[in-house]
Structure 1
């Protein structure tokens, strides 16, 4: 047997040995995967049973509280606090278990499991999500500047508005995945992107004309300012996320202004004036559009609908930001009062 052929035979025997090890490793992997699936099913079922029993207990305490004495009322209040704490623990547990997608994800992705099972995977996804927002914000900023000062064509406006629609649709999908993986985004922050997507879609369908031209420059200037604010928010949220994660105090997927602590005020006090300025600019857009809707040459339905949408955005953003800041201020005051 020639030398090269003997070398090939040795290589094959080595590959055969490694293949046998690979088969055994894969067999163990499938076994562990089945065990993992069984554990996931067991945990999910146990959590659901616990949540149902806690719900029944909560209702029973509600009924009993009406006729309880002072000491009994205090015990009821304490038990209700324990139940709320237990619900928060269940929320953290479910972040590492497969779950059904929400309505929006079901419509877009179908029944696809989007659960990330490790902290490393969750943080990597959150980090990539923030970078995605940053890159798209820069593109939208450049697009708004180009449309406002260089390209005065309807087709470029349509491209810009299409990018806005795609941007908010994509953010909605990505935030829905974050929520499925344990992020505490809730309330208005969930609805904001839906409303913004609708607004951008209406802007895309608004035909060119006198009324459109009257509002065009104002909208593009607002888009430039909004992109700048989002740029500032990115660095503020990213800094808070990394610091809180390093301190081990927050979830890997936390974001928005909720959850800030006293040491964050240095950055937040700088950011809040820009946020409130953007909110009131939305109100100014709504007032302008309401006035344009009464113009004698206004025939487009988009004008009044956009006015209402900007008003909804202003009320949602302004009131929610006020509520969050007030709540956190109260929490900080209560902490300082404690001995």
Structure 2
């Protein structure tokens, strides 16, 4: 037998042996996947059963709460406390179980399972989301700065508006995936990204004309300011979240948001003037566009539609921020009284 052929046969034997091990490992992997799928179904059905049982127990507790003895009252109070804590425990469990996509994700992605099953994967995706927001915000700030001061071309404005549209659409999808995986961002701070995406699409379709040129610099200056404020928020909120997570006061999947929430109060109140100024700038944009819509030469539907979008953004941002600040001030004033 030639020496070269002996070497080839030896290599083949080693490779074939590794292949047999690979087949066995893959067989075990498929078996574990099947076991995991069964466990997931069991957990999901058990959680549903537990929720139904809790409702029934809560109803029975309400019946028993009429005229019990002091000892029974104490037992019922303890049971009520445990019942209140169970939904949070179920939510923590469901964060690691497959869930049906919401309406928006179902329309965009279909029935693809977007649940991440390990804490490391969840944190990695959350960090990737935060980096995406920061990098795109910086890029948008540089782009708007360039368009405002150096390049007054309609095709560059169209690229900027398309970038805004893509950015907000991507944010809505990523946020939907994060919410599925346990992030607690909700309410207006999610919805306003849909409005912003729609506004960017309308700005993209606004034809070049006299009215567009009148509003162009005002919009670019607003976009530049918004990007600057969002960079500030991202930087300071991420530091605040890191500290609160280390103290165990915030959930590990909580995100930085383009607004103000109660957990930002300590150390981040300096952001409020910047936020309120941006909110009133949105109102100013809306009023400017409504005035333009009344001009005889106004033929573009985009003028009135952009004005409505800016008005909705102002109302949502302003009243949500005021509500958060009012709630926080009220809760701080109540603390000394309770002590």
TM more than 0.5 = yes
Q: 1:322 to 1:60 in 2, by over 3 A?
A: farther
**What are the within-5 Å matches in structure 2 for residues 141-290 of structure 1?**
141-255=141-255, 256=257, 257-258=260-261, 260=263, 265-266=266-267, 268-290=268-290
TM-score by length of 1: 0.88
- Alpha-carbon contact 1:141-1:223 (below 8 Å) kept: yes
- Alpha-carbon contact 2:145-2:224 (below 8 Å) kept: yes
Deviations 1:142-166 (A, max 9, x none): 2211221222122221111111111
- Alpha-carbon contact 2:261-2:321 (below 8 Å) kept: no
Q: 1:80 to 1:155 in 2, by over 3 A?
A: farther
Residue 54 of structure 1, CA deviation: 3.2
- Alpha-carbon contact 1:126-1:178 (below 8 Å) kept: yes
**What are the within-5 Å matches in structure 2 for residues 1-339 of structure 1?**
1-55=1-55, 68=66, 82-255=82-255, 256=257, 257-258=260-261, 260=263, 265-266=266-267, 268-332=268-332
- Alpha-carbon contact 1:260-1:328 (below 8 Å) kept: no
Q: Which moved more, 1:34-43 or 1:156-165?
A: 156-165
Alignment RMSD (CA, Å): 2.8
Deviations 1:258-311 (A, max 9, x none): 4627xx622x12222211111111111112122222223222222222222111
Deviations 1:209-241 (A, max 9, x none): 222222111111000000101111111232233
1: CA distance between counterparts of 2:190 and 2:248?
Answer: 25
Residue 4 of structure 1, CA deviation: 3.0
Q: 1:25 to 1:312 in 2, by over 3 A?
A: same
Q: 1:74 to 1:203 in 2, by over 3 A?
A: farther
Residue 188 of structure 1, CA deviation: 0.7
Residue 322 of structure 1, CA deviation: 2.3
List runs of 5+ in structure 1 lacking aligned partners: none
Q: 1:18 to 1:59 in 2, by over 3 A?
A: same
Aligned residues: 334
- Alpha-carbon contact 2:262-2:324 (below 8 Å) kept: no
Deviations 1:11-48 (A, max 9, x none): 22222222222222222211111111000001111112
- Alpha-carbon contact 1:147-1:220 (below 8 Å) kept: yes
Query: What SS does the corresponding residue of 2:113 show, helix, strand or coil?
Result: coil
2: CA distance between counterparts of 1:182 and 1:210?
Answer: 48
Q: 1:58 to 1:324 in 2, by over 3 A?
A: farther
Q: Following superposition, which runs of at least 4 residues in structure 1 exceed 6 angstroms of deviation?
A: 59-62, 69-78
1: CA distance between counterparts of 2:329 and 2:117?
Answer: 34
Query: What SS does the corresponding residue of 1:101 show, helix, strand or coil?
Result: coil
Q: Which moved more, 1:27-36 or 1:53-62?
A: 53-62
Q: Which moved more, 1:98-107 or 1:321-330?
A: 321-330
Q: Which moved more, 1:41-50 or 1:290-299?
A: 290-299
Q: Which moved more, 1:189-198 or 1:322-331?
A: 322-331
Residue 69 of structure 1, CA deviation: 6.4
List runs of 5+ in structure 2 lacking aligned partners: none
Q: 1:329 to 1:13 in 2, by over 3 A?
A: farther
